[in-house]
Chains A and B, each alone.
Chain A
């Protein structure tokens, strides 16, 4: 793989957890931090690519690579870019493509809503991640992103804090940044993204810092 600063993929077993929304917003945040990324849409549904089309283009390139050997194709599109953000399809329906994405990305981010029905899928995800790690030369970093949380900031009590605590007990690395459930995000598909002063700027900062620490 070419020497990129950050290659991170949003992955989950399930659809509808916020992979595309997070990938698009994070890519904008990286761009705003002068690390213009390549956004790779590997979901056959093509939502990220469609979003950029509806928005009249993003300030960085978006390519659709819904193929199993996506990990071998990405470098051809990098053009010296320092970051890659990948929107993976849900593992339960497109295992081969999602695994290709995970073979490329050196950071796997699992967006999860702090609710029991979503936490119930975390053990199978952990098993799946273990399998893909064995196909890699170097293990990827993995992290959980609390998405659609009740509060903007992390608190000491409440569902967000409880989810954070039990995920950590099970060995998951939960990112400090959390993304609140806001109309700002749920209504954003198809339009241009104004990322300044949002939690995605914090997320980009946190991910770059994790990369430095690695």
Chain B
């Protein structure tokens, strides 16, 4: 038995822990006049995901706050028929 060889074997059996980096996405648009190839770097998607999630949270958070402000304000407005309208 060779302990060193076993160590080497164990090292070589390592599973990839992180997902392998994505290959770029390629889209082509071609017709008689133009031919366009778009190569989207896989990192762009990751960066977008990273950016979009907090932005979406911010938007929903802001919307929720705005609604509660509106709700609070409408509660404070006196009912329209109990006003001073009609008084001389």
Residues on A facing B (Cβ under 8 Å): 68, 95-96, 116-117, 119-124, 127-128, 131, 134-135, 159, 162-163, 165-167, 169-170
Which among A96, A123, A162 is the interface contact of B41 at CB below 8 angstroms?
A: A96
Is B9 interfacial (CB 8 A cutoff)?
yes
| A162 and B8 within 8 A (CB) | yes
Chain B nearest Cβ from A65, distance in angstroms: 17
Query: A-facing mask of B12-37, CB < 8 A → 1, else 0?
Result: 11111000110110000000000000
A169 to B10 alpha-carbon distance, docked (Å): 12
Interface residues on B, range: 10 to 19
| A162 and B4 within 8 A (CB) | yes
A120 to B8 alpha-carbon distance, docked (Å): 8
| B15 and A123 within 8 A (CB) | yes
Residues of A within 8 A of B41 (CB): 68, 96
Q: Given A162-B5, A166-B5, are A120 and B14 also a contact pair (CB < 8 Å)?
A: yes
Which among B4, B12, B23, B43 is the interface contact of A122 at CB below 8 angstroms?
A: B12
| B12 and A119 within 8 A (CB) | yes
Residues of B within 8 A of A170 (CB): 12
Which among B8, B16, B24 is the interface contact of A127 at CB below 8 angstroms?
A: B16
A119 to B12 alpha-carbon distance, docked (Å): 6
Chain B nearest Cβ from A10, distance in angstroms: 19
Residues of B within 8 A of A166 (CB): 5, 8-9, 12
Residues of A within 8 A of B15 (CB): 123
| B13 and A123 within 8 A (CB) | yes
Chain B nearest Cβ from A158, distance in angstroms: 9
| A95 and B12 within 8 A (CB) | no
